[in-house]
Amino acid sequence: MGLPMAAEVQARAPLTPVTHRVVGRRDETADVVTLLLEATDGSRLRYSAGQFNMLYAYAVGEVAISISANPVDDGPIAHTVRNVGTVSRALCGLHPGDSLGLRGPFGSDWGLDSAAGGDLVIVAGGIGLAPLRSVITQVISQRQRFGDVEIVIGTRTPEELAFKDEVSAWRERDDLSVHVTVDRATPGWRGTVGVVTTVLPRIHCDPAGVALICGPEVMMRFTALALLERGMQAAKIRVSMERNMQCAVAQCGHCQLGSVFVCADGPVLTWERVEPLLSVRQL
Amino acid sequence: MNALADELTAHRFFARMDAAHLEVLTGCGRNVVIRAGTSIIREGEPADSFWAIRAGRVALGVTVPGREMPTLGTLHAGDVLGWAWLFPPYRWHFDADALDDVHAVVFDAVCLRGKCEADPALGFDLAKRVAGVLGERLHAARIRLLDLYGPSDGG
Amino acid sequence: MAVASGTTMTLDVEGLDALIANLRGRGYTVIAPSVRDGSIGYEAVTSAAQLPRGVGDEQGPAHYRLRDRGDDARFGFATAPASWKRHLYPPATTLWRAHRDREGMLVFEETQAPPPRYAFLGVRACELAAILIQDRVFATSAHPDPTYAARRRDLFIIAVQCGSPSGVCFCTSMGTGPRSTEGFDLALTELLDSAEPSYVVEIGTPAGQEVMAGIAAQTATDRDRAAATAVTDQASKRMGREMDTRDLPALLHRNLEHPRWGDVAARCLSCGNCTNACPTCFCSDDIELEAADGESTSRVREWASCFSREFSYIHGGTVRQTTRSRYRQWMTHKLGTWWEQFGTSGCVGCGRCIAWCPVGIDITEEAAAIRATDGTRADAKR
């Protein structure tokens, strides 16, 4: 028999892209670009920190890109793209006036509401700072909702730090504790040198707090372990996972990690849920 | 417990060390302030001291003639500086400079090694702690080799 | 399970023809089994004459043959290599098209053609279960797929209660057959106890009732109903295989490093035939298809398989690099993690993966082997 359905399935969105225009562009580093996007039909996306959109470059394809903007702000929505493949390279080549397609927002968010009232530890590795910028800017604009906020940013070299001006501004604030560390210093760098895990023993860490981690999977694993050693709980450590994403609606099957659809159950997942999955090779 | 031992119990390296052992060790140590910019350790020189950093930052590096070398690593409050003092031939492997004014407890290495030989239990505890520091630094160094934030994340 | 009374009719073979004609008259394209290229496909038919008369099948690991039954049964076979899946979830679908307008702005158009109105004639219980499973992926999920939903909404389903299970069937183990009890508009049970086949027709919906009202049919007698019940009862006893489903998801979950995965990997060609034949497999690729003149481009969704090497590619490399990990993914998903995702097993016990595997890998045997040596770990981590 035909399937009874409550409502007609009308528009394909979020399966069909919505035309967006690039209204601003910032070259963060040699291979990282932030694009500011606006829908040409005047509509505005509602999203939460941690979610992503599928950005489409004409005749090239789609790729999942984290929203790096503050969800509380109005205005064009920032997406930070790293040039690592065919589609991202095409997106990094866009300039103000160019158009692209956008589908979304998709995925789980960082869960800031559930962290309100307590301490936050935010650890970003490399391009992982992009999806965390979204939550950091929101935290700053709602600072009184949270307790102590410790931010640890790991980058390859001082030049490769994204959002340099903003990070400097964050470091000036006395309501945030910001630690920037580089894997490789350049001559003249007078800041911390070492992987993020070497900074973690020194930060203020309330075992009852919430931790948000984003970066390469190896870095997230070691960071989560270090925070567990500091007494934090696996259920309150959240990581942002990445897998092959195509449909972004849990129908193409590519992003599965065990029973998890990273596009829909994630990308933000608790360490409690993810750790057993990551401990199986090639799951 | 003497005042120095009291201060050291708060230092990460000496966490949960036996109080009696701590007292013995402080016999080799004293508080010191190293001004910013001071060269603390030079590669190749005798490794005759061991520092427990209480405040300020130390930059580790190597010297290459004619080139300004980048810092290889930084040490902070709660870290220790120097491990070559425990292993023959007792010579430093790296340079270390004070980035800020550094407040530390400096231990005389000959004195420390003497206390370790005299009391194997103390020696074993200290050796384990130093081994732990080496392990952490080796692990961190290996991760850096992966160049995780590089073009192909490796993750 | 007995045939429900009160809503049962009987039809003869002419009645089958009338049923097809009636449905076509209402604008349905009737898809039914017919013999094609030495196997049975599900294609559009115009009359009951196209049904596989007197055709049966013999199936085993890596083995599928049609055979002559020596009677006039129209539904005397088990599962076909094809499944109904391709008519609800086509192997290739254009999702949308894009082009640039005069100012160079991208314009996106949805490309929904009017959906075909299908009537499926001859859906086995396992196949109906598979459709209900795919509904959870495509129709009742958070973002229903418009192509699937449109075809599914008006789908008219005539189930066939199974009387001829094959050597690879294990629907009874999976709780999906051989009898359908819900989800159909009409369900037929073919009776072969007289000169000509007759059909006991269960009416499942008002739509089914309405179609039957336009056909000459008789009310079923108790004897008819008992005969229909007997058909599936005896089919239940002749299953080709068994799957022990006790605690199966947990069993697989705790045996992800079992050496059996290495054993099966040594045999598996990673060819993906199983995923192609499986009526519940749903994975797809989204690909870009630019028009030859460069004036427009289409986004096309194509069937894909988790067995392909690049299926789990992320920048930096492929997550599942070995056949071992890909076979493990397929089987633990089908029998295990599917439960957490969709609330049912992904397997309906149709056995297509067994028959159509070129090397005859048998999912029931693999599950049994792991169960028999539950907890064994492979020596070397691969």
- pLDDT at residue C13 tops 80: yes
Scanning every residue of chain C, which has its alpha carbon at the shortest distance from the alpha carbon of A64?
Answer: C314
What does the pLDDT look like over C159-217, one tens digit per residue?
999 999 999 999 999 999 999 999 999 999 999 999 899 999 999 999 999 999 989 89
Q: How confident is the model at residue A86 (pLDDT cuts 50, 70, 90)?
A: very high
Within-domain flag for A274: no
Which residue of C87, C111, C112, C143 to mutate against A (max A Cβ within 10 Å)?
C143
User: Which residues constitute the domain of residue A97?
Assistant: 18-106
Per-residue pLDDT tens, chain B, 155 aa: give them.
688 999 999 999 999 999 999 999 999 999 999 999 999 999 999 999 999 999 999 999 998 888 888 899 999 999 999 999 999 999 999 999 999 999 999 999 999 999 999 999 999 999 999 999 999 999 999 999 999 998 764 33
In chain A, residues with a C-beta closer than 8 Å to the C-beta of B140 are 194-195, 197-198
Q: Which of A65, A82, A106 is the last residue of a domain?
A: A106
Scanning every residue of chain A, which has its alpha carbon at the shortest distance from the alpha carbon of B78?
Answer: A202
Min Cα separation C320/chain B (Å): 14
Looking at residue C5, its pLDDT comes to 54
Min Cα separation B117/chain A (Å): 31
Domains of chain B: 3-146 (2.60.120.10)
What does the pLDDT look like over A20-52, one tens digit per residue?
999 999 999 999 999 999 999 999 889 999 999
- pLDDT at residue C1 tops 70: no
Report the number of distinct structural domains present in chain A: 2
Q: Which of A203, A222, A240 is the last residue of a domain?
A: A240
What does the pLDDT look like over C234-291, one tens digit per residue?
999 999 999 999 999 999 999 999 999 999 999 999 999 999 999 999 999 999 999 9
Within-domain flag for A147: yes
Average pLDDT estimate for A191-200: 95
Q: Are residues A118 and A228 in the same domain?
A: yes
CATH at residue A72: 2.40.30.10
Question: Using an 8 Å Cβ cutoff, are C341 and C217 in contact?
Answer: no
Looking at residue A208, its pLDDT comes to 96
Looking at residue C112, its pLDDT comes to 75
Q: Are residues A187 and A131 in the same domain?
A: yes
Q: Are residues A158 and A45 in the same domain?
A: no
Q: Are residues A87 and A117 in the same domain?
A: no
Question: Using an 8 Å Cβ cutoff, are C187 and C174 in contact?
Answer: no
Cβ–Cβ gap A59/C137 under 8 Å: no
Cα C27 off chain centre by: 24
Q: What is the signed CA dihedral for C39, C45, C50, C55, rounded to 10 degrees?
A: 30
Q: Are residues A48 and A64 in the same domain?
A: yes
Q: Are residues A60 and A141 in the same domain?
A: no
List the single range of A234-238, C18-22, C144-148 with lowest mean pLDDT: C144-148
Beta bridge partners of A15: none
Looking at residue B70, its pLDDT comes to 87
Question: What residues have CB less than 8 Å from A100, skipping those under 6 apart?
Answer: A19, A20, A22, A37, A55, A56, A57, A58, A91, A94, C106
CA dist., res. C199 & res. C212, Å (int): 13
Q: How confident is the model at residue C6 (pLDDT cuts 50, 70, 90)?
A: low
Buried b (16+ CB within 10 A) or exposed e, A130-157: bbbbbbbbbbbeeeeebebbbbbbbbbb
Within-domain flag for A224: yes
Q: Are residues A232 and A160 in the same domain?
A: yes
Q: What is the 3-state secondary structure (H, E, C) of chain C?
A: CCCCCCCEEEEEHHHHHHHHHHHHHCCCEEEEEEEECCEEEEEECCCHHHCCCCEEEEEECCEEEEEECCCCCCCCCCCCCCCCHHHHCCCEEEEEEEEECCCCCEEEEECCCCCCCEEEEEECHHHHHHHHHHHHHHCCCCCCCHHHHHHHHCCEEEEECCCCCCCCCCHHHHCCCCCCCCCCCEEEEEECCCCCCEEEEEECCHHHHHHHHCCCCEECCHHHHHHHHHHHHHHHCCCCCCCCCCCHHHHHHCCCCCCHHHHHHHHCCCCCHHHHHCCCCCCEEEEEEECCCCCEEEEEEEECCCCCCCCCEECCEECCCCHHHHHHHHHHHHHHHHHHHHCCCCCCCCCHHHHCCCCCCCHHHHHHHHHHCCCCCCCCCC
Chains that touch B (3 or more CB pairs under 8 A): A, C
Question: Using an 8 Å Cβ cutoff, are C235 and C165 in contact?
Answer: yes
Amino acid, res. A60: V
CATH at residue A167: 3.40.50.80
Within-domain flag for A259: no
Within-domain flag for A256: no
Question: Using an 8 Å Cβ cutoff, are C52 and C38 in contact?
Answer: no
Query: What phi and psi values does residue C124 have, to the nearest 5 degrees?
Result: -70, 160
Q: Are residues A145 and A37 in the same domain?
A: no
Q: In A, residues 47-86, which contact C (CB 8 Å cutoff)?
A: 56, 58-62, 84-85
Within-domain flag for A5: no
What does the pLDDT look like over C133-152, one tens digit per residue?
999 999 998 899 999 999 99
Question: Using an 8 Å Cβ cutoff, are A28 and A81 in contact?
Answer: no
Q: How far is CA C282 from CA C12, C89, C154, C269, C356, in A?
A: 37, 8, 21, 20, 18
Q: Are residues A136 and A196 in the same domain?
A: yes
Among the partner-chain residues C149, C290, C340, the one whose CB lies closest to the CB of A9 is C149
- pLDDT at residue A13 tops 60: no
Within-domain flag for A234: yes
Q: Are residues A101 and A117 in the same domain?
A: no
Question: Using an 8 Å Cβ cutoff, are C299 and C95 in contact?
Answer: yes
Q: How confident is the model at residue C111 (pLDDT cuts 50, 70, 90)?
A: confident
- pLDDT at residue C378 tops 90: no
Q: Are residues A176 and A60 in the same domain?
A: no
Q: What is the signed CA dihedral for C188, C191, C194, C198, rounded to 10 degrees?
A: 0
What does the pLDDT look like over C309-341, one tens digit per residue?
999 999 878 999 999 999 999 999 999 999 999
Q: Which of A83, A106, A129 is the last residue of a domain?
A: A106
Within-domain flag for A279: no
CA dist., res. A236 & res. C74, Å (int): 61
Cβ–Cβ gap C108/A62 under 8 Å: no
Looking at residue B117, its pLDDT comes to 95
